[in-house]
Structure 1
Amino acid sequence: MLNGLPRLGCAALRFVDRRIERHGRAFVRPKGAPVLGENGRRGQRRIALVPFDMPQSGSNDVRSIARWHLAEGSAAMAGVEIPDLYRKCRILIDYGAVPSWAELGEKFGVKPATVKWWGQGSAVRARDSLPSQHLESLIDIVTDALPPDASPETIQGLVFGPASAFEEALRRRDPALLDHLLETEADRTSMQLILRSSETGLVEIDQPTMPQPKVTVGPGAWFRIECRSQRPVRHAVAIQNCRQIWGVVPIDIADDAHRMLAPGLNPAGEAIFMREKDLLGLNRFIVFQTEKPAPHAIGERMKLGIALDYPALATLIDFYRAQPEITRRLYLLEIRIGEDA
């Protein structure tokens, strides 16, 4: 360790070229810092790296500043200690960043059992030891699992830090990614709040023509949501978010194929209503419109009315992001429920 920073092997070298243009930051060995070896063997030398700011005047200038000082010899066969490696791999799968052990193995170019062996160890190999030629792949996998604005320092800290911090980062990733999608893509003008009058049975329709402020309804008030699409709707998923709770809302597509109705239709084809008595405050109702059906895990939760945990939320967001932008639509309606909203 040098000033609390881990020592990276040679395999991290190519990581710099990919990250420079994206973040304008990289890791280099400070002038005069020693190149450290393991057990005095020349073939297992490591280099202590620290981050530094890089100018944004152009890629040529940036690359001219990123100078790497490597010791003689190859570190290709040296093992890099990755704390909690097996658990981090498990977290990547649980949170949907990588679908399965099989795909994780493909990303490393090895069998799934080999990846598990790196983390679990054996009688002849220490646990949490990653062959340094695979460090670049691990950095790529972690980078892809994080929001696009994750800095090299953040990625390095998560790769070489404890699994608890790694899991927390992935837990925060999906709400952050969804917030970014809502900010950049969400249609806030095509969703209607429809209230049911308890006295007359009539409905009151609020159909804004501009991005609307948050609508307020009383606790226990019956309402439904109607979302209109200019494109024919093939599949839709609706969720409700209040604080850290993510619920699935039933949704049906109307016969005209241009309206999505939440919480859906009764057997007679009539729109039904819902109410919220417990989650008071700001509630966000979000509709995902896609050409392809949602993954099976999401479909099952929709059928059973089971709330989304973080891995399920990750699955839904990753599925939506994988759809071509021309075929996907995202809608948002914010409702304050309760007098203290």
Structure 2
Amino acid sequence: MSEIDTRVQQVLQQAAELAVRNDYRSAMDYLAEANRAGGEAELERQLLNYAIDGFAMADHGQVAWNTQHDDRFAGGQGLPVIEAADLDADMLRAGILGRGGLIVRGLMDEAQITATRACIDQAFEARKAIAEGEGTAEHQRSFARPESVSGGPVQFGSLGNNQYTNSGSVWAVDSPQAAFSMLEFYRRIGLPEILQAYFGEPASLSVRKWVLRCVPPNNGAESGWHQDGQFMGEGIRTVNLWVALTDCGEGAEAPGIDIVADNNREIYPTGTHGAPFDWTVGQGFVDELGQRCPVQRPHFKPGDAVFFDHYNLHRTGFGTADKNHRYAVESWFFANSVAPAKQQPLLF
């Protein structure tokens, strides 16, 4: 056994001793600190296992939510826009609850953008190699499912019969390297503290709605308008963070996101007004909403982000002259006390 292998096994043993005492948070912190020294697939994968198991074992209680906000963005048009340095829970509350969402410029720095795009490329490459029987030990950091994850993986990008392209979507937890990098990013920007102040309680992250994306150009295509609350269930409290890693949207050459600046707290009917599928909101209904709520295709630079919740109506925004793939990471967070079990929440 090499010196590195010995170190990894020692770290895993120490973390296991913490986890067996139900101190999953300390076990995660211990693994994270050790992993910053080099990056090891086994440490990253086990951290994700403890994050999932730790949430499942904890008592999250019942917490009332204060939805009051100062309406600081009243009178504007479309989603409000702020700089990353100004992001806090009050901004988030006024943006999401007051206007339906909040655009944050420059949330991710250049180094993190480059690293995250590389992680996404490596995840797709590893998935393809493993499916074709050419996977190696080196692929395990980029694509390897933690044992505590249940259910099937996101398969967008599959051609069927275990044939995969280098675009589409994968769950972040299926790429331990990418997941660890994003967890470190959330920590650096203070997101756990911001979300705790927003919800009035700690937040968790969804296994099934934490997704790495590489969307190819598909000029003139129509994608489905939807609200994620249609699939997640009732009585939940959420925040979604969508971070662009590519110049995209209006005026760019990569698909963006179309979004309705609507602060209504309701789930709209699906399968009507010319909707192509029974799970989508019809364009005719969106046109009616557009008479009172701006329908936008914002321009995002790499590192720009948008926050919204499960009531927001949105879709992938394909242009007519796109040439580039759009890279992005989508992360759904829940207030712990009402996190839906079917989304398999994890500590972060």
TM-score, length basis structure 1: 0.24
TM-score, length basis structure 2: 0.24
Q: Which has the higher contact order (CA 8 A, sep 6+)?
A: 2
- Which has a greater percent of strand? 1
